[in-house]
Amino acid sequence: MFIFIMKKKTILLRISTLLLVFGYAASIFAAVDAYAEEDILTITQNAGYETSDYYKPKASIVIEAHTGQVLWEDNPDLAWNPASIAKLMSAYLVFEAIAQGKFTLDTTVKATDSDQAISQIYELSNNNIVSGVDYPVRDLLYAVMVQSSNVATVMLANLVTANDEAKFIHMMNDKAKELGMTKSTFYNCSGADTASFNGYYNPAGIDQNADNVSTARDLAILSYHLLKEYPETVTYTSPTQITIMENTPYAEVLENHNYSLPGLAYGYEGADGLKTGSSPTGGFNYAATAVRGETRLIEVILGVGDWEDQNGELQRHAFGNAIFDRAFSTYEYKQLLAKGEQTIDQEDVILTQDLYGVIQKETQPNFTLSANQVTFDNGLSQVSSTISAPSVEFQYAKKLKALQHSTFLKNANQKNGLSTFFVNGLLIILGLLFMALSKLFKKEPAAGSAKKFNPLLILGVLLALAGVGLSIYTLIVGPWL
């Protein structure tokens, strides 16, 4: 009976232990699921911002700026009107034209009567433009990126295409395809439909009433390429306030609507761009970038609140700051492997350069050798199939060292061969020289006396024969040195 009771207790103990283990595992999975399902509204509220479901963005995404890997996404492929964020594509084409040498930042654009008329349309975001005045490209870029000026955008677009308004729209769409923005279509250069320009801006053959269409993913791809290829972009997106046309009668102070810039209402550490946008059909939108240490992030927030409630202009920054915080606290971009010898998958390899990548903090990635590339899996996807995941080339250490040794021997043999032929030739030349000297210093023997031994002649003959013999040996056998 005692034994039966003990066995029963043992069985109950094991069952209890198993239940505890399963319960613990279930709680872990539940926590993971809760973390995964935590939406942007909850994240923002937990970060201390006062907001509500009314302002919840329709779509959002965060990517790492060096690698283009997605750190957060919520409905990233929703088709949406990006409003003035479209100006980023116009800026891209301006920077591209500068890089191609078509004009410079100091090139001036003479304002037309139409430009002045556009600048006075109250419903559009603008800066002051006076007909006949020359405006430097640099100042117009500040007006576009800081003030979100529609007229400055039109002036730059016309500069790029020599006043072919429709051509610029086609360039925007062609560039979108080239960059991998698969769900974007542009109908205007600034984010405001062309009908709102009162006829002063009217690209031929383009629907005047159509809104630009893009997605959070596509706008993140655009921002990625803009910062990667033209990092000077942040020069024009980071000022909270700037004066253009200084020291002229047309000087004007511009105010930035990106309230997440340090020093403004929702100032965020490291924020230095990119662009805000709002419209009746798009609500309040926000494309942002911020850098901390080696890590730079890009985010896009679309569809915050409603155009009728201007509080959405501030709320978009609360959501943006909150998911930036989440990403910065979770991930980091850093050097993962140093150039040179490494051991990966139990193989000794030599990396051609340092490997950098983004990983979750306090974790170590698993590296893989594939073809001639070192890659790693961090569980993150690329924002676009056109952007490759981080990798570096490598060579197997044994093969490389064998190749280097073989090359060394080959080079050594070549050097030895040249040295050998040089010595062989030198021996022959010395031999001939001694034979010539032997004749020069030859003394005629006295009458009736025997011929004297001539050491110079003998030495010369021996040296010449040695040189010839060694040359034949080198040609048949190889270098003797």
Active site residue 84: yes
CA distances from 93 to 117, 139, 179 (A): 24, 16, 12
Give 3-state DSSP helix, strand, coil % of the chain, rounded to 5: 45, 20, 35
| Measured distance between the N- and C-terminal CA atoms of the chain, rounded to whole angstroms | 96
Which of the following is catalytic: 87, 190, 260, 384?
A: 87
Active site residue 184: no
Q: Which two tokens stand for residue 289?
A: 């970038």
Report the distance separating Cα 166 and Cα 188, nearest Å: 9
Which of the following is catalytic: 148, 184, 214, 238?
A: 148
CA distances from 213 to 176, 180, 184, 429 (A): 11, 15, 5, 86
Is position 275 annotated in a ligand binding site? yes
Q: Which two tokens stand for residue 251?
A: 């000087």
Amino acid identity, residue 230?
Answer: Y
Q: Is 273 exposed, middle or buried (0-12, 13-18, 19+ CB in 10 A)?
A: buried
Active site residue 148: yes
Report the distance separating Cα 272 and Cα 298, nearest Å: 11
Amino acid identity, residue 136?
Answer: P
Which of the following is catalytic: 60, 84, 149, 190?
A: 84
Phi-psi region of 276 (alpha: psi -120 to 50; beta: other; left: phi over 0): beta
CB proximity list for 4: less than 8 A, separation 6 or greater: none
Residue stretches of the annotated binding site for substrate:
275
Active-site amino acid positions: 84, 87, 148
Residue stretches of the annotated binding site:
275
